[in-house]
Amino acid sequence: MENGGSTTTTSTITIKGILSLLMESISEKEEEGGGRCAKRVISLGMGDPTLYSCFRTTQVSLQAVSDSLLSNKFHGYAPTVGLPQTRRAIAEYLSRDLPYKLSQDDVFITSGCTQAIDVALAMLARPRANILLPRPGFPIYELCAKFRHLEVRYFDLLPENGWEIDLDAVESLADENTVALVVINPGNPCGNVYSYQHLMKVAETAKKLGFLVIADEVYGHLAFGSKPFVPMGVFGSIVPVLTLGSLSKRWIVPGWRLGWFVTTDPSGSFKDPKIIERFKKYFDILGGPATFIQAAVPTILEQTDESFFKKTLNSLKNSSDICYDWIKEIPCIDSSYRPEGSMAMMVKLNLSLLEDVSDDIDFCFKLAREESVILLPGTAVGLQNWLRITFAADASSIEEAFKRIQCFYLRHAKTESQPI
């Protein structure tokens, strides 16, 4: 169901799926060349910072998991909603940035943020219901919605306004069957961070229209620009908020699959015993993270030094600046927005400057085969003829990747667009 703006959707595309195909195209090129590949593969397509040695988790995290595992206390099943001490620690961690206190009963442990997304949509699904998703966005939402028979309606994010939500479009899309609006902040795939004022408007709009907000904060606190990260839960007294998050990005441990689904709702909309019972029953059929990983969470949250976070932010700021500066040197790609958070940014393709490139997917496959550089086609996140570039990489890899992209442009540039 397409509504407003571009009609591109992601129902048949997954990020991992298209990145796998891009890697296969490089492998095929190697086979054609007798197994020789002159260039190492540089991937700026996957949001996994652990691929680069400059991004590593803390010693505190490693020691906490080791201690938990070796204690022999956490080899059995955990409660399906999560260990009590883990839920309590996450409630305390999130409460630091809220004007009210969460309790452990507000927190449910999930296998990464992806499972938290599935839980949120499963709990909201009902006949004729629809959900409002951002474009560009994270395609897992659409995939989960289709499995739950939730109608998807897209509102655009506005690049000329720092990728803010088009609230006029939200008002025109919503009806009596709208159950929720998804806000991803800090933004994936756009690298934006929403201001307090904008999030307040989002909350007021949702209240007026009568639906809740799903706040995807998997990149929570990864803000390195002029605007600080503001949790959507700050506005929980205006509109009910389901907060989704994980250890994955801030602690650089995506493979640990430790996420959370949290009712940030001081007005008590989710306190109805029937709703709580429904949550618990649904978690009874899910498999959560390994018990020993859950048991390590309190130590990880309480003892990680602030210097670790500052180092990560400095690295992301530096790498995003390198990307932004390079983009200005390559005529066929453009970004007027300097990233302020998360680990990725959107870049617009100017196909009119290229001789034999038909769209963003064609661009990415030819770039992969010719230069062994992997970028994500914008089509995968809902914007055709854009690119998503992940900057969670070391500076030398980013520099080398953009040098190759520049060579690719010069090779494919229309004659009249080449510099004299």
Q: What is the pLDDT of residues 261-279, one digit of tens each?
A: 999 999 999 989 999 999 9
Phi–psi pair at 164, nearest 5 degrees: -70, 160
pLDDT for res 28: 82
State pTM to two decimals. 0.94
Per-residue pLDDT tens over the stretch 60-114: 999 999 999 999 999 999 999 999 999 999 999 999 999 999 999 999 999 999 9
Looking only at Cα atoms, what is the longest distance across the chain? 72
E strand or H helix that includes residue 205: helix 196-209
pLDDT given at position 7? 36
161, pLDDT greater than 90? yes
| Residues 109 and 295: beta-carbon distance below 8 Å | no
243 within 8 A of 236, measured Cβ to Cβ: no
Instruction: Find the Cα–Cα–Cα–Cα dihedral 189, 192, 193, 198, rounded to 10°.
Output: -100
Pick the closest to residue 232 from 244, 249, 250, 248 (CA basis).
Answer: 244
Strand bridging mode 151-158 / 164-165:
antiparallel
Note the pLDDT tens digit of each residue in 340-364. Answer: 999 999 999 999 999 999 999 999 9
- pLDDT of 132: 98
pLDDT tens digits, one per residue of 212-246? 999 999 999 999 999 999 999 999 999 999 999 99
Is pLDDT of 141 > 60?
yes
Residue type, 297: V
Band of pLDDT at residue 5, cut at 50, 70 and 90 = very low
Burial of 338: CB neighbours in 10 Å, binned 0-12, 13-18, 19+: middle
